Structure 1
Amino acid sequence: MAASVETIRKAIEPVVQAAGADLEELQIQQAGRREIVRVVVDRDGGIDLNLVSDISREISVILDNEPFNSEFAGTFVLEVTSPGVDRPLTQLKHWRRSHDRLIDVELTDGSQFTGRITSTTDDVIVFTVTQGKTQEERTVAFADIKRGKVQVEFNRVTTEDEGDVADGH
């Protein structure tokens, strides 16, 4: 690998930030004679395909020019993507961006629960936890959370969906 991750990060991070996103992850992997440059971006409110495309074009211009074009010798594949739902929630901003999502939570004391994020502050996350037919609010200090993972929900009806049903859509 000719170009270091840190060198590329310094070159592309301003592009990602100018687009209003965060550079979540940067990986360079060897794949035969080519290198795969994988860039993961995210922002509050989520990333849409148009933004990923815009960021990808701008990063490609950077990597196609000096000093990177001679380091890669033109043999790299650029992948720009958003984080998948299977990404572990490790930073407070990940939790904030998962507002209203159902999360499997493990606390530092070893206990676990599943709850829907209803709000976040700088140091606490509030969940709605459903047990049978009852719901309770649970407030957890961010420092007490060991890990969290978003649960994929295929059949969740939201208030927006309920409006569509009422409208006949």
Structure 2
Amino acid sequence: MSTTQSERLRVLLEPLVSSQGLDLEEVEVDSVGRKRVLRVVVDSDEGADLDAIADVSRALSAKLDETDAMGEGEYTLEVGTPGAERELKEHRHYVRATDRLVKFQLGDGGELVARILDVDEEGVDVEVPGVKGRKPTAKRLVFQDIAKARVQVEFNRKNKNEENAEEA
């Protein structure tokens, strides 16, 4: 997909997605043989449930039908959320990942897996899990030192309600 088409689609769709209370995260067009697929990824601070996805999907479909942004020919519109192991690119992504375990690739070539505790304009405060009985340690990462960050899936993590029940 050309950058021009991507930009045109983003300009066309972003106000509509925003009017639904969501953020437009990605717009991607793939060609598979003769078929084209337009993938739109949306999210919000509260997450996007199935009803919100269905509402925005209908709104985007109607808008695309009344324009020629996708050109001639058939295409499939897929609207979804970023997924469990999302890459963190924008400040809002880091905020949404607070309390989540994240794998950071650092600009100096290092790597760190840590839980995000707090986010501000300059960077993130994280907690590095303790190893072999050691206590977790706090660390500060500034955004300019982070080359890449991706949320990690945790299958056995207790949620806050379970933790609070155990403490009582």
Query: TM class, shorter-chain normalised?
Result: 0.7 to 0.9
Q: Which residue identity is paired with 2:7? A: E
Q: Hey, what's the Cα distance between the residues in 1 that align with 2:62 and 2:51? A: 17
Counterparts in 2 of 1:42 and 1:6: CA distance versus 1, 3 Å: same
User: Is it true that 1:96 corresponds to 2:95 in the alignment?
Assistant: yes
Instruction: Measure the CA separation in 2 of the matches of 1:84 and 1:161.
Output: 24
Residue pair 2:8, 2:69 contacting (<8 A) in 1 also = no
Letter in 2 for 1:90: K
Q: Which residue of 2 aligns with 1:59?
A: 60
Per-residue CA deviations over 1:26-77 (Å, capped at 9, x if unaligned) read 11112233311110112223222211111101000011223347x233x110
* Percent of matched pairs sharing the same residue: 35
Cα 1:5–1:131 change in 2 (3 A) is same
Q: Which position in structure 2 is the counterpart of 1:17?
A: 18
Q: Contact 2:48/2:81 (CA < 8 Å) preserved in 1? A: yes
Alignment of 1:136 with 2:129, yes or no, is no
In structure 2, distance between residues paired with 1:101 and 1:139: 16
Aligned position for 2:5: 4
> Could you tell me which amino acid in structure 2 is paired with residue 25 of structure 1?
E
TM-score norm. by structure 2 comes to: 0.86
When the two structures are aligned, how many residues end up with a matched partner? 164
Work out whether 1:146 is the aligned partner of 2:152: no
- Aligned to 1:152, the other structure's residue is in SS state coil
Over residues 75-112 of structure 1, what are the superposed CA-to-partner deviations in whole Å (9 max), with x where a residue is unaligned? 11000011123332222222111111001112212222
1:121 aligns with 2:120: yes
TM-score, L = length of structure 1 = 0.86
8 Å CA contact retained: 1:118, 1:128: yes
Q: What is the RMSD computed on CA atoms of the aligned residues?
A: 2.4
Query: Could you tell which deviates more after superposition, 20-29 or 59-68?
Result: 59-68
Cα gap change, 1:164/1:49 in structure 2, threshold over 3 Å: closer, same or farther? farther
**2:38 is matched with which residue?**
37
SS in 2 for 1:15: helix
Aligned residue type for 1:65: E
Per the alignment, residue 72 of structure 1 pairs with 72
Query: Residue deviations 1:103-132, cap 9 Å, x none?
Result: 111221222221100100011200111122
Closer, same or farther: CA 165–78 of 1 in aligned 2, 3 Å: farther
User: Which residue of structure 1 lines up, in the alignment, with residue 162 of structure 2?
Assistant: 161
Letter in 1 for 2:137: E
Task: Decide whether aligned partners of structure 1 residues 106 and 33 sit closer, same or farther in structure 2, where only a CA change above 3 A counts.
Answer: closer
Cα 1:29–1:95 change in 2 (3 A) is: same
